[in-house]
Structure 1
Amino acid sequence: MSAPTVAQYTLRRLSELGLDRIFGVPGDYAFSIDDAAELVPGLSWVACSNELNAAYAADGYARIRGAAMLSTTYGVGELSAINGVMGSKAHRLPVFHLVGKPSERIQRLGLITHHNLGDTVYDRFQPLSAAAACVSAVLTPDNCVDELERVIREALRQSMPAYLVISELNGGQPVLGTPISGTPLGAVKRQQSVPQELEAAVRTILSRLEAATNPVALLTHLVSRYGCRDQALAFIGKTNLPTAITPNDKGTMDEGMAQYVGLNAGNLSSSEAVRNLVNNADLVLDIGGIVTTELNTGFWTGHYDASKTVSINDNWVRAGEKVFVNVAIDDVLHALHERTTTRCADHGMKLEPSALTGHPEDPSSSASFYPRLQRPLRSDDTVVIETGTCMTHLNKMLLPAGVSAEGQGLWGSIGWATPACLGVAMAKTSGRTWMVTGDGSHQLTLNELAVMGRYGINPRIFVLNNGLFGIEDVISERGHDYDDLAPVNYHLLPHAFGCKNWLSARVSTVAELDQVLEQIDAHDGAAYIEVMIPNAESQPMADAIIDSGYKLSTPQPG
């Protein structure tokens, strides 16, 4: 049997992690990669509308499968994808970004080609794309086997993107050396622990937990990125630890668990009871490493006392002034679950879905929409949350048992959700995919609806139409022309994009909303619903709150 080409071997080796899709846009210098995608068994090419959308879709896929593949061409393609890949880096997702490059014969002859700046500098884009990754390599027939193992290991160890350059010439030449057969991602041990550091860290955590009278846990999305969410939830259940999440981590906790208490974000917490519970705790067990951005802390009104906080990070633990290094998060959680005997008192907080509001003849609004969205969600469903005003509502919404959510609150690139919804839906093997987006964010990437229709995926999409960039009004002031949007009849888009068997509608009253939600539940295809929302909802926050996030005003003297 002949040796596989560099491109074929690379895609096969990555697909063995459990990846069955590669997202991208074809390009001439990447043809060896594009062609290989059609030859690797079990792997399918997903032709996205543009490179940025492809990067967003790969991001969404990686959130479900643990990793993803993205392919773009040299220069124009890879640079268009950087924003999406950088978002994956911020949210700790191993996206393998494969880029085709002009042949070494062109480079050695000093020929000038397109997708460059009219000169013979062919590696100028590599530092830019590599900056969005944690590891990179230029693959050749001679180094492909060894370099690929190094890149895979490091991308999984850090749970961040990797950047792989394959020239069009090298991509079509045979691999030299002995190919390696990989294992599914779930069977890969991504980090190792130094035994004495692990034992000291675990004993410290157990001791602090045993001594605490009113401990509380906060769970972050990092446990999902390292495949140990189930371990974390099992530990929380065994200890009966009251557990909150921060806005960036919506969907990480199973909110049907008795231990869930709500969203903690300082003055913007889901309730005063949650804020008080965390503030008054004598031990805050931070499982995954809280990111203390302004949106995650209620514009920095939520503070964590370092002396009362124990943080379990990806490969290190901090307990006050003690830091333990080279301790893998999965090893720490496994040991804690095996050895803990502490069982905390019930938190006593009763969480209920938001009450339905509005009369049938009332105009549709956020107040009537979000409580109704809770009702049809079922276990194994995933809600994709766009950045914007919908994020502020959905983060506080109580998800039914077994329902997860994905958002991009840290990177916050509007338009992410629509292509990410494509990736999430393609990656899931059970349950449905729901998405909520504002019209402003949706306009950036709505062409990906055509890709959804082409590949026959069936998301449930809600576009909240208020005719403006509502979140900008909330954090600024009303009346700016730059916040107004081009008018779009969104509910007509699925038909225009060739989507088959899509339930599409525009609703403007509570009665219409109730009716379409019933139709969605009985429909076996995708749903795309334009929900009219009054733009008067987007009122600016108080000046003091806005300034707490942007720090523009001169402080009072004294």
Structure 2
Amino acid sequence: MASPSVAQYTLNRLSQLGIDRIFGVPGDYAFAIDDAAELVPGLSWVACANELNAAYAADGYARIRGAAILSTTYGVGELSAINGVMGSKAHRLPVFHLVGMPSERIQKQGLITHHNLGDNVYDRFQPLSAAAACVSAVLSPDNCIDELERVIREALRQSMPAYLVISEVNGGLPVIGTPAAGQPLTAVKRQRSVPQELEAAVQTILSRLEAASHPVAVLTHLVSRYGVREKALEFIRKTNLPTALTPNDKGTIDEAMPQYVGLYAGDWSSSEAVRDCVGQADLVLDIGGIVTTELNTGLWTGQYDPARLVSIHDNWVRAGGKVFVNVAIDDVLNALCERVTTRCADHGLKLAAPALTGAAADPTTSATFYPRLQQRLRAGDTVVIETGTCMTHLNRMLLPQGVSAEGQGLWGSIGWATPACLGVVMAKTSGHTWMVTGDGSHQLTLNEIAVMGRYGVKPRIFVLNNGLFGIEDVISERGHGYDDLAAVQYHRLPEALGCRNWLTAKVSTVADLDQVLDQIDTHDGAAYIEVMIPNEESQPLPDSTIDSGYKLRTPQPG
């Protein structure tokens, strides 16, 4: 039997992780990769509107399946995708970025090609794209099998993107050697622990828990990235630990769990009770590694005292001044679940979904929209949250039982949500995918709606139209022309972009909104709803609050 080509072997090996889509834009130097995608059983090509969108879509897909494949061409393609791949790095997602490049026959002769700068420096883009990854390789027939195993292991070990370069000629040549047999991602042991370090770390955590009078846990998205979310939730149930989320980690816990106390972000917490519960705890068990950015800590008002903090990271644990290394997060959680005892009392905080407000004739506003959306979510659904003002509302919303959420609060690249929604809905095998975006963010990537229509996916999309970059007004001041948007009639886009059987509407009153939500419940297809929101909602924060985040003022002397 003939050996597979380098490109075909690479895609087949990656698909063994459980990846069934490859997101990308075709390009001449990547034709070997593009052609191979049609030959790998169970792997389907998804032609995105542009390379940045493809990177965002791969990011969304990886959040559900654990890993994803992205394909772009040399130079112009890979550079267009870098922003999206870098976001995957920030959010700890193993996206395998495959890039085609000119043939070695061209390179060896020093021939000058397009997609370059008019010279014969062919590898100038590799350091740029590799910077968005944690590991990289240039694959050839001779090294493909060994190098690919190294790259897969490192990408999964760090849970970050990988960059793979395959020249157009090498992509079509057969691999040399014995192919490796892969496993589904769920069966892969991604990190290994040193026994004595693991035992010391686990004993320390158990001792600190036992000694604490008022311990709490803060759960982060890292547990999802490493496939240990369910084990983390089992630990929380066994200990009955009161558990909070930070804004970046919305949707990680099942918010119907009695242990959930709400969103903690210092002064921006979902309630004073949550702020006090975490802020006054004598032990904060950080499961996953809290990211202490300004937006995740209420402009750094959510401080974590190192003496009271125990953090379980991907492969290390810190407890005060003690650091334990080479301890894999799955091993730590497995050991804790075996040995922990239930000792925490119920936290006593009462969480409730927001009440519906607004009469039928009232205009749609954030206050009338979000509670109604919350009531329509069902177990198994996923909410994709765009960066911007909608993020601040959705992060505070109490998700019903079994509902998850995905956002990009750390990297914060506006426009991410629309293509990421494509990736999420393609990766899910059950439940609906809902997306909420502001019109400013949506304008950056709305051409991906055409791709959704082409592939027949069925997201439920809400575009909140206030005619401006609302979040910019909130963090600066009103009246700047650069915050005004082009007047797009969003509800007409799906038809113009070739989408069929999409429920579309423009709503401006509460009655309109209630009616269209009823229609969505019974509609067997995608929904795309333009919701009018008054731009007066986007009022600037107090000057002192803005300066707390940006530190522009000269401090007072003395």
Question: What is the TM-score when the length of structure 2 is the normalising length?
Answer: 1.00
With 336-345 and 507-516 compared, the bigger mean Cα shift is at: 336-345
Superposed CA deviations along residues 62-119 of structure 1, whole A, max 9, x for unmatched, are 0000000000000000000000000000000000000000000000011000000000
User: Any gaps of 5 or more consecutive residues in structure 1?
Assistant: none
| Kept after mapping to 2: 8 A contact 1:366/1:533 | yes
AA in 1 matched with 2:61: Y
Residue 224 (structure 1) aligns with? 224
* Matches of 2:181 and 2:63, distance apart in 1: 24
Residue 433 (structure 2) aligns with? 433
Superposed CA deviations along residues 226-274 of structure 1, whole A, max 9, x for unmatched, are 0000000000011100000000000001101000000000111000100
What is the deviation of 1:203?
A: 0.3
Residue 3 (structure 2) aligns with? 3
AA in 2 matched with 1:489: Q
1:146 and 2:164 matched:
no
What is the deviation of 1:342?
A: 3.3
What is the deviation of 1:389?
A: 0.0
* Matches of 1:313 and 1:108, distance apart in 2: 46
Superposed CA deviations along residues 262-287 of structure 1, whole A, max 9, x for unmatched, are 00001110001000001110000000
AA in 2 matched with 1:136: S
Which SS does the other structure have where 2:500 is aligned? coil
1:470 and 2:464 matched:
no
Which SS does the other structure have where 1:138 is aligned? strand
Which SS does the other structure have where 1:435 is aligned? strand
Residue 61 (structure 1) aligns with? 61
* Matches of 2:109 and 2:207, distance apart in 1: 67
Residue 160 (structure 2) aligns with? 160
Which SS does the other structure have where 1:60 is aligned? helix
1:193 and 2:231 matched:
no
1:274 and 2:265 matched:
no
Which SS does the other structure have where 1:137 is aligned? strand
Residue 111 (structure 1) aligns with? 111
Residue 501 (structure 2) aligns with? 501
After superposition, residues 170-181 of structure 1 pair within 5 angstroms as 170-181=170-181
1:121 and 2:136 matched:
no
Residue 538 (structure 2) aligns with? 538
Which SS does the other structure have where 1:351 is aligned? coil
The number of residue pairs the alignment matches comes to: 558
| Kept after mapping to 2: 8 A contact 1:209/1:342 | no
After superposition, residues 199-278 of structure 1 pair within 5 angstroms as 199-278=199-278
1:290 and 2:279 matched:
no
* Matches of 2:257 and 2:373, distance apart in 1: 20
After superposition, residues 298-309 of structure 1 pair within 5 angstroms as 298-309=298-309
Which SS does the other structure have where 1:244 is aligned? strand
What is the deviation of 1:150?
A: 0.0
After superposition, residues 370-385 of structure 1 pair within 5 angstroms as 370-385=370-385
AA in 2 matched with 1:132: A
| Kept after mapping to 2: 8 A contact 1:210/1:342 | no
AA in 2 matched with 1:322: K
Superposed CA deviations along residues 109-165 of structure 1, whole A, max 9, x for unmatched, are 110000000000000000000000000000000000000000000000000000000
Residue 344 (structure 2) aligns with? 344
* Matches of 1:397 and 1:231, distance apart in 2: 25
Which SS does the other structure have where 1:530 is aligned? strand
* Matches of 1:127 and 1:392, distance apart in 2: 36
After superposition, residues 331-410 of structure 1 pair within 5 angstroms as 331-410=331-410
* Matches of 1:156 and 1:75, distance apart in 2: 26
What is the deviation of 1:557?
A: 1.5
Residue 412 (structure 2) aligns with? 412
* Matches of 1:468 and 1:190, distance apart in 2: 44
Superposed CA deviations along residues 384-442 of structure 1, whole A, max 9, x for unmatched, are 00000000000000000100000000000000000000000000011110000000000
What is the deviation of 1:556?
A: 1.3
1:490 and 2:484 matched:
no
| Kept after mapping to 2: 8 A contact 1:294/1:300 | yes
* Matches of 1:78 and 1:155, distance apart in 2: 18
Which SS does the other structure have where 2:437 is aligned? strand
AA in 2 matched with 1:151: V
* Matches of 1:488 and 1:39, distance apart in 2: 41
AA in 1 matched with 2:65: R
What is the deviation of 1:555?
A: 1.0
AA in 2 matched with 1:503: L
| Kept after mapping to 2: 8 A contact 1:438/1:464 | yes
Residue 329 (structure 1) aligns with? 329
* Matches of 2:147 and 2:180, distance apart in 1: 12
Superposed CA deviations along residues 175-217 of structure 1, whole A, max 9, x for unmatched, are 0000112000000000000000000000000000011111000
What is the deviation of 1:292?
A: 0.2
AA in 2 matched with 1:263: L
Which SS does the other structure have where 2:422 is aligned? helix
Which SS does the other structure have where 2:519 is aligned? helix
* Matches of 2:438 and 2:338, distance apart in 1: 44
AA in 2 matched with 1:416: W
AA in 2 matched with 1:305: D
AA in 1 matched with 2:374: Q
Superposed CA deviations along residues 316-358 of structure 1, whole A, max 9, x for unmatched, are 0000000000000010011101100132000001100001011
Which SS does the other structure have where 1:401 is aligned? coil
* Matches of 1:86 and 1:403, distance apart in 2: 27
* Matches of 2:473 and 2:237, distance apart in 1: 41
AA in 1 matched with 2:475: I
Residue 78 (structure 2) aligns with? 78
Residue 514 (structure 2) aligns with? 514
Pairwise CA RMSD: 0.4
Which SS does the other structure have where 1:520 is aligned? helix
Structure 1: 4+ residue segments shifted above 6 A? none
What is the deviation of 1:497?
A: 0.6
Residue 33 (structure 2) aligns with? 33
AA in 2 matched with 1:437: T
1:447 and 2:447 matched:
yes
* Matches of 1:162 and 1:525, distance apart in 2: 35
The percentage of counterpart residues that share the same residue type is: 83
AA in 2 matched with 1:543: D
AA in 2 matched with 1:99: V
User: Any gaps of 5 or more consecutive residues in structure 2?
Assistant: none
What is the deviation of 1:478?
A: 0.2
* Matches of 2:342 and 2:360, distance apart in 1: 50
Which SS does the other structure have where 1:267 is aligned? helix
AA in 2 matched with 1:425: V
Which SS does the other structure have where 1:133 is aligned? coil
